[in-house]
């Protein structure tokens, strides 16, 4: 008995659908962001600001550039990731613009000179981020080529992570030594280090995952690896503690260790790594609390946010007041008082959105983050090679962890850590690094979704007879 089998086309039917979906979603992202930007002007000024139309045209041109790059350089990439990220980026620009207007009004009331709007700087960083996003797609033709730079990425990542400690160029801001100052510019090298270390983790675990998955001992039903295979976990733990001790950066320390433990679990499928990671995390947290005053201060502010509102807990207290004022639906863009929260443009921009968009608006933004993370993990599952799987998973988990740590700190779910909200918060190094990470994720997604070379269109496919 025989059956007739034809080979369906993937490229002819799925590709146009993907292109149309991305165009529609990008257009929707722009409309939502532009509406938010215009609403800010109308609520505060009563008319459009003189620079609103040029800013929106610049944003539209940047989105067109991103779409054209994906269209020609990563044809089969996921059509949802870039529009979701673009929506977050534009909303961040709208909120920074809103806070710029509040600062200008305050300066006018006090008879002072209005400061230079930060939205121009953020738009410049957005342009640089999208240009580098395109550059990643141009330079990295195949994500697997990055595996050959596994240890180079490790060395470069560790150098960047520790560079703020160098005398002369390292700078301490708000108690944390995370920045480099060169002339009038400042940059946070840990943001780029995050990407390089993700590449290292993916490459290292691709080679060693079999030995790391070996089981020698069972304790209470949990399988534990060989003692000599636990070395990498302890190295990651000590480096995380080093970042916490010397740079006083709780957020990067937590992100670095959590990312490594997560990828260990994905590579080996052993729950024991999660258990060991949790034990080391708790041990490190207790040690940090007992040994370092700045960690104790953050924990005390977390536990008692209204105990010292005039000083140490002023920031988190104002953030909570803002959330309470916003309620379910928010006060409306441009109609609240988010400028009362210190660092509302950067560390506490989530609180600004919570006040003016309310719980529903903030949840919608968190859903956008969830979509990006979910599509990244879906890319990891669909990827045909282990390195690509771990790279896509690492980039997605890194984004998800950072959002959880930031939103959890601002809403008092966990202690404040000092990380910035990806794509929303003011900060060039974070924005540029996250656009680069999205470029790598798009490259892996294109490879994962690309049909096999032997697949041909339905009309051109010869009829094959298969014996049954």
Among the ranges given (129-133, 163-167, 226-230, 356-360), the one the predictor scored with the smallest mean pLDDT: 226-230
Q: How confident is the model at residue 454 (pLDDT cuts 50, 70, 90)?
A: very low
| 426 φ/ψ angles, rounded to the nearest 5 degrees | -65, 135
The pLDDT assigned to 244 comes to: 56
* Location of structure tokens 């709208």: 94
Q: In this model, does residue 386 exceed pLDDT 70?
A: yes
Distance in Å from the first CA to the final CA of the chain: 6
Q: pLDDT for 254-301, tens place per residue? A: 788 888 888 888 988 878 778 888 888 888 888 878 877 777 888 888
Average of pLDDT values for 190-194? 85
Share of residues in the chain with pLDDT > 70 (%)? 80
Q: How confident is the model at residue 462 (pLDDT cuts 50, 70, 90)?
A: very low
Dihedral angle computed from the Cα positions of residues 431, 435, 441 and 446, in that order, rounded to the nearest 10 degrees: 160
Considering just the CA atoms, what is the radius of gyration of the chain in Å?
24
Q: In this model, does residue 222 exceed pLDDT 70?
A: no
Please count the structural domains in the chain.
Answer: 1
| 166 φ/ψ angles, rounded to the nearest 5 degrees | -70, 130
Q: pLDDT for 406-447, tens place per residue? A: 999 899 888 887 778 999 998 888 899 999 999 999 999 999
Average of pLDDT values for 365-370? 96
The pLDDT assigned to 48 comes to: 93
Q: Helices 52-73 and 81-109: crossing angle, nearest 10°? A: 160
CA–CA distance, 397 with 18 (Å, rounded to integer)? 25
Average of pLDDT values for 140-164? 87
Average of pLDDT values for 369-389? 94
Which pair of tokens denotes residue 92?
């961040």
The pLDDT assigned to 127 comes to: 97
CB 17 within 8 A of CB 78: no
Q: pLDDT for 157-178, tens place per residue? A: 888 877 777 766 666 665 556 6
Q: How confident is the model at residue 27 (pLDDT cuts 50, 70, 90)?
A: very high
pTM for this structure? 0.88
Q: In this model, does residue 84 exceed pLDDT 90?
A: yes
Q: In this model, does residue 14 exceed pLDDT 70?
A: no
CB 271 within 8 A of CB 222: yes
CB 362 within 8 A of CB 381: no
Q: In this model, does residue 1 exceed pLDDT 50?
A: no
CB 443 within 8 A of CB 139: no
Q: pLDDT for 340-352, tens place per residue? A: 888 899 889 999 9
Q: In this model, does residue 468 exceed pLDDT 50?
A: no
Q: Are strands 2-5 and 464-467 parallel, antiparallel or unpaired?
A: antiparallel
Range of the domain at 296: 2-467
The pLDDT assigned to 304 comes to: 87
Which pair of tokens denotes residue 301?
């502010």
Dihedral angle computed from the Cα positions of residues 438, 442, 445 and 449, in that order, rounded to the nearest 10 degrees: 150
The pLDDT assigned to 13 comes to: 40
In sign, the C-alpha dihedral spanning 267, 272, 276, 281 is: positive
The pLDDT assigned to 260 comes to: 84
CA–CA distance, 79 with 442 (Å, rounded to integer)? 9
* β-sheet bridge partners, residue 170: 180
Share of residues in the chain with pLDDT > 90 (%)? 44
Which pair of tokens denotes residue 184?
């009038």
More confident residue, 306 or 211: 306
Among the ranges given (14-23, 57-66, 353-362), the one the predictor scored with the smallest mean pLDDT: 14-23
């Amino acid at each position: 008995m025989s059956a007739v089998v034809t080979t369906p086309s993937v490229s002819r039917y799925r590709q146009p659908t993907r292109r149309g979906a991305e165009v529609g979603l990008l257009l929707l992202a722009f409309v939502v962001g532009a509406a938010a930007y215009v609403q800010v002007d109308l609520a505060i000024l009563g008319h459009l600001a003189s620079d609103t139309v040029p800013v929106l045209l610049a944003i539209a041109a940047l989105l067109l550039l991103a779409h054209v790059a994906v269209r020609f350089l990563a044809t089969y990439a996921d059509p949802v990731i870039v529009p979701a990220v673009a929506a977050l980026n534009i909303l961040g620009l709208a909120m920074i613009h809103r806070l710029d207007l509040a600062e200008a009004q305050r300066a006018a009331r006090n008879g002072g000179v209005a400061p230079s709007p930060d939205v121009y700087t953020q738009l410049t960083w957005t342009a640089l981020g999208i240009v580098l996003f395109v550059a990643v797609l141009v330079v990295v033709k195949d994500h697997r080529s990055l595996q050959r730079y596994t240890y180079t990425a490790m060395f470069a990542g560790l150098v960047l992570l520790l560079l703020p400690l160098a005398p002369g160029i390292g700078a301490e801001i708000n108690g944390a030594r995370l920045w480099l100052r060169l002339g009038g510019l400042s940059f946070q090298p840990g943001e780029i280090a995050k990407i390089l270390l993700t590449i290292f983790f993916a490459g290292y675990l691709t080679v060693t995952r079999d030995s790391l998955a070996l089981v020698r001992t069972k304790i209470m039903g949990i399988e534990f690896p060989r003692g000599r295979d636990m070395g990498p976990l302890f190295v990651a733990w000590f480096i995380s503690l080093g970042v916490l001790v010397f740079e006083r950066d709780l957020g990067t320390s937590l992100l670095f260790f959590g990312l490594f433990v997560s990828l260990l679990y994905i590579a080996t499928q052993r729950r024991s790594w999660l258990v060991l990671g949790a034990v080391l995390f708790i041990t490190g947290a207790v040690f940090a609390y007992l040994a370092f005053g700045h960690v104790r201060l953050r924990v005390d502010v977390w536990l008692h946010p209204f105990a010292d509102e005039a000083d140490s807990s002023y920031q988190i207290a104002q953030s909570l007041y803002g959330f309470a004022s916003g309620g379910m639906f928010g006060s409306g863009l441009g109609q609240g008082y988010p400028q009362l929260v210190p660092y509302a443009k950067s560390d506490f921009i989530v609180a600004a959105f919570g006040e003016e968009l309310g719980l529903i608006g903030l949840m919608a933004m968190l859903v956008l983050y969830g979509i990006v993370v979910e599509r990244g993990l879906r890319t990891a599952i669909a990827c045909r090679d282990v390195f690509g799987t771990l790279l896509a998973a690492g980039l997605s988990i890194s984004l998800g962890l950072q959002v959880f740590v930031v939103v959890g700190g601002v809403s008092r779910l966990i202690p404040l850590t000092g990380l910035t909200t990806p794509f929303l918060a003011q900060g060039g190094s974070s924005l540029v690094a996250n656009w680069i990470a999205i470029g790598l994720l798009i490259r892996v997604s294109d490879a994962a979704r690309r049909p096999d070379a032997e697949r041909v269109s339905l009309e051109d496919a010869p009829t094959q007879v298969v014996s049954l």
